[in-house]
Amino acid sequence: MKKRSLYLCLLAGIILTFTGCAVLKTALHHDYKINKYDETENMEYIVLFHGIYGTEKDMKPIAEMLGNKNYNIISIQYPTNSDSVEMISEKYIKPVIDGLDNDKKVHFVVHSMGSGILRYYLKNNNMDNLGKVVFISPPSHGSALADHFISKMLKDPLGEAVLQFSIKEDSFVNKLGNPDYSCYVLIGNKSNNPLYSVIIPGKDDGMVPLDGSKLDSCAYKVVDKASHTSILKDERTFNEIENYLKN
């Protein structure tokens, strides 16, 4: 009788675990979508995309600001927990860029994990019309969150791409190398997640360590008292992006 009860408890635990993972995976998934905020002839493009588990709405404040500056704005929403970075780039980013006018410059403004996706794309695809690149809150050398045992336990619902942002020297993100194009890193210095900050060594923005966001070939600026997500709505961020793109 005891063995049967133990078996039933174990079975119930397994069912609950798998059910919970399935629910989490669904909750974190967002469908592929492209939103164009402004379409002006003969104007340069700015392509935006969000970070992990985000949506194109995360980039809307920046899109609306830039849309008033005579750019063609394209914001890409992509599922972040269904594929590897390589497949995300190939399935959701490359087709959009391939469809742009080669005679117009293409700038990029990307957030968080989106930076790794873009770095991978630009490393493997030549763009003669590449303009400037802004990396916001980028885990340029990974985040300790990706190495936490919970991330590994929940690999299926969280997605394969999460583990590619390990801080280990041989991780995917740490093999991308330094960009050979004009780029600018913006990051906040205020945590919006005290629990994550316990896991992340050093100063962080709630998701990414400041020291790990830097790239040798990129300009760098800390937006004081902004967090990993609030930086996307900060007027100072808008000003930095606008000035960088036009100068």
Q: What is the pLDDT of residues 86-125, one digit of tens each?
A: 999 999 999 999 999 999 999 999 999 999 999 999 999 9
**Together in a domain, 95 and 7:** no
Closest by CA to 105, choosing from 70, 76, 129, is 129
Cβ 107 vs Cβ 245: under 8 Å: yes
Percent of the chain with pLDDT over 90: 68
Helix (H), strand (E), coil (C) string for 119-156: HHHHHHCCCCCEEEEEEECCCCCCCHHHHCHHHHHCHH
| Helix (H) or strand (E) segment spanning residue 199 | helix 194-199
| Helix (H) or strand (E) segment spanning residue 59 | none
**Together in a domain, 130 and 104:** yes
**Together in a domain, 87 and 150:** yes
How high does pLDDT run on average in the chain?
Answer: 86
**Together in a domain, 40 and 20:** no
Q: Residue 40: which pLDDT band, with cuts at 50, 70 and 90?
A: confident
Number of structural domains in the chain = 2
CA 242 to chain centre: 20
Q: What is the pLDDT averaged over residues 3-26?
A: 39
Closest by CA to 246, choosing from 184, 190, 158, is 184
Place of tokens 């929403």: 77
What lies within 8 Å, CB to CB, of 61 at 6+ separation is 232, 233, 238
Of residues 193 and 7, more confidence is placed in: 193
Please calculate the CA angle 222-35-42 and round it to the nearest 5 degrees: 85
Q: What is the pLDDT averaged over residues 135-150?
A: 90
Distance, CA of 170 to CA of 105 (rounded, Å)? 33
**Together in a domain, 69 and 147:** yes
φ, ψ of residue 82 in degrees (nearest 5): -110, -20
Q: What is the pLDDT averaged over residues 223-235?
A: 97
**Together in a domain, 16 and 53:** no
φ, ψ of residue 235 in degrees (nearest 5): -60, -35
**Together in a domain, 91 and 213:** yes
**Together in a domain, 23 and 63:** no
Reported as a single tens digit per residue, the pLDDT across 93-102 is 999 999 999 9
Q: Output the pTM of the full model.
A: 0.87
Distance, CA of 10 to CA of 58 (rounded, Å)? 41
**Together in a domain, 127 and 40:** yes
**Together in a domain, 63 and 123:** yes
Q: Looking at residue 222, what is its pLDDT?
A: 98
**Together in a domain, 116 and 224:** yes
34-38, 67-71, 156-160: lowest mean pLDDT where? Answer: 156-160
CATH of the domain at 96: 3.40.50.1820
Cβ 118 vs Cβ 110: under 8 Å: yes
Residues in the chain: 247
Q: What residue numbers bound the domain in which 8 lies?
A: 1-29
**Together in a domain, 53 and 6:** no
Cβ 143 vs Cβ 167: under 8 Å: yes
φ, ψ of residue 200 in degrees (nearest 5): -85, 120
Reported as a single tens digit per residue, the pLDDT across 167-224 is 999 999 999 999 999 999 999 999 999 988 999 999 999 999 999 999 999 999 999 9
